[in-house]
A and B are shown apart, each in its own frame.
Chain A
Amino acid sequence: MNYNIKRSVSLYSYQEEYYLGKLDLEGCIREAAKAGATGIELLAEQMMPNFPYVTPEFKEQWFGWMDKYGTEPTCYDAFLENKIYDNRTLTLREQVRMMERDIKIAGELGFKTLRTLCSTPMDVIKGSLDCAAKEDVKICIEVHSPFSLNSGWADGYMDMILGTGTKHFGFMPDFGIFCKKIPDVLTAKALRQGASPECVKIVNDAFANRVEKGFTKIKYDTNLGRAHGEYVKANGMPELMEAIEKAGGNAADMNYARASFNYTWCDPQDIIDNIQYIYHTHAKCYNTNAEYEETSIPLKEVIAAYKKAGYTGYLSTEYEGNSLLNDAFEVDSIEQVRRHQEAMRRAIED
């Protein structure tokens, strides 16, 4: 069967090479295209000169690159800075204005979707829907671990979608919610930093147990700290920390135990259940080996759900393994993205 799932690369994936000046923006687009992607995702605040202003020169260059490399813009990644004033947080109206600013930049540069962080308050999204409709940009709330679809958190947004009937707001899952194992590069880093094999085993076993039993999902709460606190408690963090302490764990062991709660395993059926409202996807990856397997995320199993659901959007590689390596190793994001694109191609086409 011919599946119409398209592949994109978030240029965030090349952050190491970009930071070190080994790749510029055009270089990132070129590498993404060489890896087989036809879509380009951008963090404007990372790579667009003169952010938040789009100059005519940049716009021309941007579309010129899209033509030259046979790519199209997919997703614009936005942030919502709430603390730019030193005497108060932004008002709702100011937050909506900031969101509208990003929607307009996204529209001007040809992006069809805009990523908003999982912490974006409902009222800010509601207030931005008219602008999104006018620019024909779909605001997508990122379903980033430890958040998940089919959860109390997602239900709140789903009610809003159904209540307003909007076609300009939906979800974009991040594959960090499909970790069946803790990324091996995180484990290796913990060991480098002095974690003990005994404690690492305790943490890994506890993670496997959560995968086996199923994670308790996170609730909707504009106070993310509170929601997160309840989430980790419900998933056994206090018990795990106690076990590490009993085993004589050091700071590196404790850090590894805490970090393990950043990864989640959700049933890929969640994708099928919500497909109507999924407009983009962050195909997060940490380490893709030479056999084209993402070592913590079972790509074939996850992509099978997208195929079954009839998804026609983009899967956008978002490589994030660099920060788990760069304390000790040279990072090769270009190769990691290439492998991940190939792994996705196989999973889509096989």
Chain B
Amino acid sequence: MFDRFLIRKDSLENVVSGGEVTGFKFAVRIADYRGCFLSLHNGYYVECDGEQYPVSLQKFEINNRPPRSFEEIRKCVWEHWDYDDEGFLYIEKKGGLLPGRHTIGIQQSVLAQYGYMPWDEEWVKNPPVPGKGSGAGKTAAICKFELELQA
């Protein structure tokens, strides 16, 4: 729905921790038309230059808190991601990205409720894997971005 704006285009940066480049990050918005309780957000499908980065390599920074794993985010039942706010998605990748342009494919997964669907109970037992379409809300396809790594 707001596919084109899911990632802020000038936000791709390497992440430095303890003097070493440990990965990269970029800024994301909610792809839907409203905010969400944080526990409903169960991660992203992310590929960069053809390589996939599963949810276990992702951390999410929001509400002025340090980046948290999605294991932790799923417990944030009463914390809200306000619609106007930008979050940062951190991807673990030793050495980070090389300078220059990178192609990122992304799909956000938020388990927002619109009805009582046959898969509601199933999603409790087996939450959908981001990138398969389920939970992608108003953005059904994996969105592609060409981004320049910022210095």
Contact = CB atoms under 8 A, between A and B. Distances in A.
A83 B113 CA distance: 7
A225 B119 CA distance: 9
Nearest to A25: B84
Interface residues of A, number: 35
B116 A222 contact: yes
B67 interface: no
B47 interface: no
A121 interface: yes
A218 to B, nearest CB: 12
A52 B83 CA distance: 12
Contacts of A323: 1, 138
B55 to A, nearest CB: 13
B123 A43 contact: no
A223 B40 contact: no
B2 A89 contact: no
Contacts of A327: 3-4
Contacts, number: 87
B37 interface: yes
Nearest to B39: A84
A46 B80 CA distance: 12
Nearest to B84: A49
Nearest to B115: A119
A282 B35 CA distance: 21
B20 interface: no
A51 B81 CA distance: 9
B148 interface: no
A88 interface: yes
Interface of B: 1-5, 29, 33-37, 39-40, 74-75, 77-78, 80, 82-84, 111-121, 123-124, 127, 138
5 A-B pairs closest in CB distance: A119-B115, A224-B115, A225-B118, A46-B34, A45-B34
30 contacts: A12-B33, A19-B29, A45-B35, A45-B36, A46-B33, A46-B34, A46-B83, A52-B80, A79-B112, A82-B113, A83-B120, A83-B124, A84-B37, A84-B40, A85-B39, A85-B77, A86-B39, A86-B75, A87-B124, A89-B120, A117-B115, A118-B115, A119-B114, A119-B115, A223-B117, A224-B115, A225-B118, A225-B119, A226-B118, A326-B4
